[in-house]
């Protein structure tokens, strides 16, 4: 009897100790890996005072990098929303040969390194690339300019919206949409009044993830940017550049801006999550 | 504060449309950032005085082989200012630069030159004076990866040339020497500036080997750390070649301003700025004014020691060649 009772008696004590240990470990790790480095970024950025900080942020090249990063996000996110909804809708509502393959294709950017995306675009649109001579003849500049940066960022962020929306569409099924259709709604009405309201939180959540990724993209963009100061440097590239310019205060000031942008996005995401729950 | 925000708004609005004025893109090597930041406004002022036109000079910096690659793929450089002859040759092979580019400007199209030199920590605690001291036990040497960095290829060749000189031309002994040198390097960065950051910001290594121009700049930038510049007894004449990217300049109609820009590097004003940034120059007045920046050193050049860049490519840098054999701890 006592053999059976012993584990039962142990259980409450163990269940208090183990979670506490785990929570402590999680808190300690996130302090070491996240909070301390982030606090360090802010302290280095403000080390020389507010005046120096604002001077660093307001330097034309850094301002342009902020502008370019926001511009890229503003172009990329809506396009990815449209793409994500369309892709999720096709995959969730229709059964067709190659559906699994399509799903895998769309998820490729999740698994391959962004630098490979950059190099692929180089081989495709570069002067020596497949479409290069045609683009050159027609005076279309894609690489080392805004279009190239947008294309690579779109590649890297393309699965985010679709991945958030798809499970929800699959779980909800198509009954409501079919009911709306039998009641005489047009395709656009069905989309606007049935489909969209059903997926809106997942959609926003996906858009926010997509935006965060677009703002932070470094590797792929660095291949196609050409690093022209004040022109094709996005904020992450600008941070790297300032750091290697031995302008540590400037680079940390730019890093603070990027961190703040990310925090805003993170707060948005948290709100989304609580709304969704 | 308000006026600054206003200025910022103007900067943003200017960033969009291109104004009708002269504009060139100078694609350059990694550690030339501060140099062209100083040169560009001076040139713009001179161009304005000479022609009455405004000129915007855009800069792009990176490892010079990567930069050459980007230009081949369509980066719209009007001029290149590189630290490797071979990287402009690549552009010439690609049809973007005139094959006779070395004759287009003086001194084989190198307006200035430098050499691999050392930077050591305060008071030189390890007593490093020459290449010999770098292979001693317990000395940590920092320079970038010669596979990716032109800067490091010069370092490799300079060490090799020194060992050849010290051992009466014995190839085997020279290879042993560079092998011992590589063995003392704790970390190989991608480019020259990354190695500088490793040495100066991260505090790794007893000695940094990079262009003399960079050692001078860092010693000044980090004056509080008391780094000491050390010039070895022998080093390699390192050319910094320039060229007009003819195809791009023609298309953009920027040939005239591109040529004037590169000519400016040879002009007394340009040479003075270069010398102030610790680059060795040919202009006598600039040389005299900044003589203190440039200690005596015996310089050998690649043609005499190695038979030119083509031979270096096949004998040293090709796959499986000498560099691969001695570069064991990459």
Say if CB B234 and CB B161 are below 8 A apart: yes
- Gap between the Cα atoms of B8 and B136, Å rounded: 54
> Looking at the partner chain, which of A125, A229, A248 has a beta carbon nearest the beta carbon of B59?
A229
Instruction: Tokens for B69, please give them.
Output: 């690659």
* Residue in A119, A128, A136, A228 to test binding to B, most B beta-carbons within 10 Å: A228
A118 CA to chain B: closest CA distance, Å?
Answer: 12
Say if CB B39 and CB B5 are below 8 A apart: no
Contacts of A253 in chain B (CB under 8 A): none
> Looking at the partner chain, which of A128, A129, A144 has a beta carbon nearest the beta carbon of B75?
A144
Q: Does the beta-carbon distance from B8 to A63 stay under 8 Å?
A: yes
- The torsion angles phi and psi of B207, rounded to 5 degrees, stand at -145, 140
Q: Does the beta-carbon distance from A122 to B194 stay under 8 Å?
A: no
Contacts of B15 in chain A (CB under 8 A): 64, 67, 230-231
Q: How many CA atoms does the CB half-sphere of A216 hold within 13 Å?
A: 15
Instruction: Tokens for A6, please give them.
Output: 């012993």
Q: What is the dihedral of CA B35, B38, B40, B41, to 10 degrees?
A: 180
Q: Which residue in chain B has the smallest CA separation from A228?
A: B60
3 state SS of B26: strand
pLDDT, position A49: 84
- The torsion angles phi and psi of B117, rounded to 5 degrees, stand at -140, 175
pLDDT, position B295: 94
Closest by alpha carbon to A63, among A52, A54, A73? A54
> Looking at the partner chain, which of B11, B193, B221 has a beta carbon nearest the beta carbon of A60?
B11
Q: Does the beta-carbon distance from A58 to B4 stay under 8 Å?
A: yes
pLDDT, position B24: 96
Q: How many CA atoms does the CB half-sphere of B251 hold within 13 Å?
A: 16
Which residues face B211 on adjacent strands? Answer: B116
Contacts of B33 in chain A (CB under 8 A): 244-245
Contacts of B60 in chain A (CB under 8 A): 226-229
Q: How many CA atoms does the CB half-sphere of B7 hold within 13 Å?
A: 10
pLDDT-derived band at A13 (thresholds 50, 70, 90) equals low
Say if CB B185 and CB B120 are below 8 A apart: no
Instruction: Tokens for B86, please give them.
Output: 């071979």
Confidence check: pLDDT of A5 > 80 = no
- The torsion angles phi and psi of B178, rounded to 5 degrees, stand at -70, -30
pLDDT, position A246: 84
Contacts of A227 in chain B (CB under 8 A): 60-62
Instruction: Tokens for A81, please give them.
Output: 């929303």
Averaged pLDDT, A221-229: 92
> Looking at the partner chain, which of A126, A230, A248 has a beta carbon nearest the beta carbon of B74?
A126
Say if CB B229 and CB B70 are below 8 A apart: no
Confidence check: pLDDT of A273 > 90 = no
- The torsion angles phi and psi of B204, rounded to 5 degrees, stand at -95, 135
Q: Which residue in chain B has the smallest CA separation from A224?
A: B70
CATH 3.40.190.10 segments of chain B: 2-113+239-293, 116-236+297-326
CATH of B116-236+297-326, one of 3.40.50.620, 1.10.3720.10, 3.40.190.10, 3.30.360.10: 3.40.190.10
All residues at 6 or more sequence positions from B270 whose CB lies less than 8 Å from its CB, including other chains? B39, B42, B43, B111, B264
Highest mean pLDDT among A137-146, A192-201, B205-214: B205-214
Burial of A116 (0-12, 13-18, 19+ CB in 10 A): middle
Q: Which residue in chain B has the smallest CA separation from A50?
A: B1
- The radius of gyration computed from the CA coordinates of chain B, to the nearest angstrom, equals 21
* Residue in A65, A144, A225 to test binding to B, most B beta-carbons within 10 Å: A144
Contacts of B68 in chain A (CB under 8 A): none
> Looking at the partner chain, which of A63, A136, A231 has a beta carbon nearest the beta carbon of B58?
A231
Instruction: Tokens for B64, please give them.
Output: 């010079």
The CATH number of the domain covering residues in B2-113+239-293: 3.40.190.10
pLDDT tens for chain B, 330 residues long, are: 445 554 544 444 444 444 447 999 999 998 888 899 999 999 999 999 999 999 999 999 988 888 999 999 999 999 999 988 989 999 999 999 999 999 999 999 999 999 999 999 999 999 999 999 999 999 999 999 988 788 899 999 999 999 999 999 999 999 999 999 999 999 999 888 899 999 998 999 999 999 999 999 999 989 999 999 999 999 999 999 999 999 999 999 999 999 999 999 999 999 999 999 999 999 999 999 999 999 999 999 999 999 998 899 899 998 889 999 998 766
A25 CA to chain B: closest CA distance, Å?
Answer: 29
ipTM above 0.90, yes or no: no
Place of tokens 């402590």: A24
pLDDT-derived band at A274 (thresholds 50, 70, 90) equals confident
pLDDT, position A14: 60
Residue that wins the pLDDT comparison between B311 and A47: B311
- Gap between the Cα atoms of B224 and A177, Å rounded: 71
Q: Which residue in chain A has the smallest CA separation from B193?
A: A244
CA A183 to chain centre: 39
Q: Does the beta-carbon distance from A228 to B58 stay under 8 Å?
A: yes
Q: What is the dihedral of CA A188, A192, A194, A198, to 10 degrees?
A: 140
Q: Does the beta-carbon distance from B60 to A245 stay under 8 Å?
A: no
Closest by alpha carbon to A249, among A31, A34, A51? A51
Per-residue model confidence as pLDDT tens digits over A91-119: 998 989 999 999 999 999 989 999 999 99
The per-type count for chain B, helices as H runs and strands as E runs, is 16, 12
Residue that wins the pLDDT comparison between A249 and B118: B118
- Gap between the Cα atoms of B246 and B248, Å rounded: 6
Q: Does the beta-carbon distance from A226 to B197 stay under 8 Å?
A: no
Q: Does the beta-carbon distance from A126 to B94 stay under 8 Å?
A: no
Burial of B93 (0-12, 13-18, 19+ CB in 10 A): exposed
Q: How many CA atoms does the CB half-sphere of A204 hold within 13 Å?
A: 17
- Gap between the Cα atoms of A2 and B42, Å rounded: 92
- Of all residues in chain A, the percent with pLDDT exceeding 70 is 94
Contacts of A141 in chain B (CB under 8 A): 74, 76
Averaged pLDDT, A217-226: 93
CA A252 to chain centre: 22
Q: Does the beta-carbon distance from B197 to A122 stay under 8 Å?
A: no
Place of tokens 């909804």: A85
A→B contacts (Cβ < 8 Å), by residue, are 54, 58, 60, 63-64, 67, 122, 125-129, 132, 136, 141, 143-144, 226-231, 241, 243-246, 248
Q: How many CA atoms does the CB half-sphere of A63 hold within 13 Å?
A: 20
Say if CB A164 and CB A209 are below 8 A apart: yes
Say if CB B301 and CB B237 are below 8 A apart: yes
């Amino acid at each position: 009897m006592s053999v059976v009772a012993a584990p039962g008696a142990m259980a409450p004590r163990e269940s208090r100790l183990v979670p506490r240990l785990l929570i402590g470990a999680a808190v300690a790790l996130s302090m070491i890996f996240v909070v301390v480095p982030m606090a360090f970024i802010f302290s280095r950025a403000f080390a020389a005072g507010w005046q120096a900080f604002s001077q660093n942020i307001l330097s034309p090249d850094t301002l342009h990098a902020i502008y370019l990063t926001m511009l890229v996000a503003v172009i990329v996110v809506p396009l990815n929303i449209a793409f994500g909804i369309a892709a999720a809708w096709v995959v969730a509502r229709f059964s067709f040969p190659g559906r699994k393959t399509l799903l895998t294709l769309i998820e490729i950017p999740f698994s391959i390194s962004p630098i490979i995306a950059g190099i692929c675009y180089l081989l495709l649109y570069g002067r020596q690339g497949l479409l290069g001579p045609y683009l050159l003849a027609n005076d279309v500049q894609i690489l080392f300019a805004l279009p190239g940066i947008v294309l690579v960022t779109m590649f890297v962020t393309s699965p985010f919206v679709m991945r958030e929306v798809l499970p929800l569409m699959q779980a909800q099924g198509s009954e409501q949409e079919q009911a709306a259709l039998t009641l005489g709604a047009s395709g656009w009405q069905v989309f606007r009044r049935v489909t969209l309201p059903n997926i809106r939180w997942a959609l926003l959540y996906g858009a926010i993830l997509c935006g965060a990724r677009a703002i932070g993209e470094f590797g792929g963009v660095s291949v196609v940017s050409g690093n022209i100061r004040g022109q094709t440097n996005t904020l992450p590239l600008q941070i790297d550049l300032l750091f290697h310019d031995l302008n540590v205060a400037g680079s940390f000031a730019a890093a603070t801006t990027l961190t703040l942008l990310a925090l805003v996005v993170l707060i948005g995401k948290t709100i989304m999550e609580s709304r969704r729950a | 504060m308000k006026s600054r925000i206003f200025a910022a708004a103007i900067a943003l609005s200017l960033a969009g449309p291109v104004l009708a004025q002269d504009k060139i893109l100078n694609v350059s090597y990694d550690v030339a950032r501060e140099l062209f930041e100083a040169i560009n406004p001076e040139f713009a002022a001179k161009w304005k005085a000479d022609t009455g036109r405004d000129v915007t000079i855009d800069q792009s910096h990176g490892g010079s082989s990567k930069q050459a690659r980007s230009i081949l793929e369509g980066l719209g450089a009007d001029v290149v200012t590189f630290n490797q002859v071979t990287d402009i040759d690549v552009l010439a092979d690609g049809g973007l630069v005139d094959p006779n580019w070395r004759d287009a400007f003086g001194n084989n199209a190198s307006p200035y030159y430098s050499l691999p030199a050392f930077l050591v920590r305060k008071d030189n605690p390890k007593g490093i004076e020459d290449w010999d001291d770098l292979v001693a036990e317990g000395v940590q040497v920092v320079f970038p990866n010669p596979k990716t960095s032109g800067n490091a290829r010069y370092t490799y060749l300079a060490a090799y040339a020194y060992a050849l000189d010290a051992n009466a031309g014995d190839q085997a002994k020279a290879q042993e020497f560079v092998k011992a040198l590589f063995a003392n390097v704790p970390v190989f960065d991608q480019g020259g500036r990354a190695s500088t950051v490793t040495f100066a910001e991260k505090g790794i290594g007893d000695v940094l080997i990079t262009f003399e121009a960079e050692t001078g700049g860092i010693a000044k930038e980090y004056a509080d750390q008391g780094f000491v510049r050390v010039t070895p007894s022998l080093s390699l004449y390192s050319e910094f070649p320039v060229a007009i990217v003819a195809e791009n300049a023609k298309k953009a109609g920027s040939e005239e301003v591109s040529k004037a820009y590169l000519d400016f590097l040879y002009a007394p004003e340009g040479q003075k700025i270069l010398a102030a940034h610790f680059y060795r120059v040919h202009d006598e007045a600039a040389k005299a004014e900044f003589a203190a920046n440039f200690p005596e050193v015996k310089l050998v050049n690649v043609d005499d020691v190695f038979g030119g860049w083509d031979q270096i490519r096949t004998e040293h840098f090709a796959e499986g060649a000498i560099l691969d054999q001695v570069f064991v701890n990459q």
